[in-house]
Amino acid sequence: MMERNSISLFVNCNYWSVQATVSWLLSEFLEGWSVSIVAEEDVQTLSKPEAASLLSAVVNTVNECLAEAPKYGLQCPKKVLGTSQILEAISRCNSTGGPTGRHWVLDPVDGTLGFVRGDQYAVALGLIEDGKLVLGVLGCPNYPMRKELLNYNHQCNQIKPTSPPSSDIWQKGCVMYARRGTGQAWMQPLIHGDTKFEWPNSATLLQASPVDDPSLATFCEPVEKANSNHLFTEGLANSIGLKNRPIRVHSMVKYAAIARGDAEVYIKFARSGYKEKIWDHAAGVVIVEEAGGVVTDAGGRPLDFSRGLYLEGLDRGIVACSGPILHDKIIGAVYASWDSSNL
């Protein structure tokens, strides 16, 4: 029980610390603008008397993070932030989005199980202006620089690996980002140690895979069966000739894999009654699309981020592909397979 409580405290501390840090930085950088942030956690829970130890941990973590802001060319606070300032920053994360105005969409720790296991997770930030998705940033601390290691930690939880990767090839961690309409998505390696972020940086252009033959494609899907109908996606993959073993990855790293060309297809068909939240997709969608990929619902329609906290009106599921030809083939297979499924 004590170990479970410690893990819960660790996870919750990171959730709120990321929200507070991002909120504070946006408010400072966008001085004079009203900052509206859509996020999963609200300030009410953290404000309760029984959350005093958690709040104290959050305050310490945020101040430690902001102290490193100069490494990235940003201003750090002139003095240590207090409890009231941290709570004020988190309180800005209570937007419900919608069709008008500017709304930042934040998922502070996307892929909680992956985060706890030291596997794949992401810190995701998107920007919606008047209902349109215009900007996406994905921080992927454990994303490996070699494709074959992307599925490694998940496989370790299933079977005992015969040979772990050596330390010299286990280079990992990056930030991906894109702005709508540029036709460009970028990847920047994480900065380690005392290294400072300097411009021009070492970012490289991302390019989705040119593969349009389903038999050569690799597809991603969520790890947890509760989040996706693996049986249907397996049948769909077989029907269109996908031969490669699927990569099951936690979090929006699946979008990162499509954008970088490490996979060609991401399929997610949630079980009946589940509603997709905008913070689970916003950042990844714009990055994939600017890298040359296509993201729609299973009916081939663009995802609608203008209707609040959820992707309302979603047709059955989500299909992300590295290009339009492959995407059309997947959508056609969905229509052909749907009547025989048990979704």
Distance of CA 288 to the CA centre of its chain: 12
pTM beyond 0.85: the answer is yes
| Listed range (125-134, 260-269, 277-286) with the worst mean pLDDT | 260-269
Domains of the chain and CATH, by start: 1-95 (no CATH), 96-153+169-342 (3.40.190.80)
Strand 294-297 versus strand 102-110 pairing type = unpaired
Task: Classify the phi-psi angles of 316: left when phi > 0, otherwise alpha if psi is within -120 to 50, otherwise beta.
Answer: left
Rounded mean pLDDT of the chain? Answer: 87
Q: What is the pLDDT of residue 227?
A: 67
Sign of CA pseudo-dihedral 118, 93, 20, 45: negative
Q: What is the pLDDT of residue 151?
A: 61
pLDDT at 340 over 60: no
Type of residue at 11: V
Pick out the residues of the known binding site.
Answer: 40, 107, 110, 280
| Listed range (46-50, 86-90, 128-132, 240-244) with the worst mean pLDDT | 240-244
C-alpha torsion angle, residues 209, 213, 214, 218 (rounded to 10) = -30
Sign of CA pseudo-dihedral 274, 276, 279, 283: positive
pLDDT at 145 over 80: no
pLDDT at 166 over 60: no
pLDDT at 146 over 80: no
Pick out the residues of the known binding site for Mg(2+).
Answer: 40, 107, 110, 280
Average pLDDT over residues 148-164: 50
Q: What is the pLDDT of residue 159?
A: 38
Q: What is the pLDDT of residue 200?
A: 66
Distance (Å, whole) CA 343 – CA 335? 13
Which of the listed ranges 143-147, 153-157, 175-179 does the model predict with the highest average pLDDT? Answer: 175-179
Q: What is the pLDDT of residue 327?
A: 96
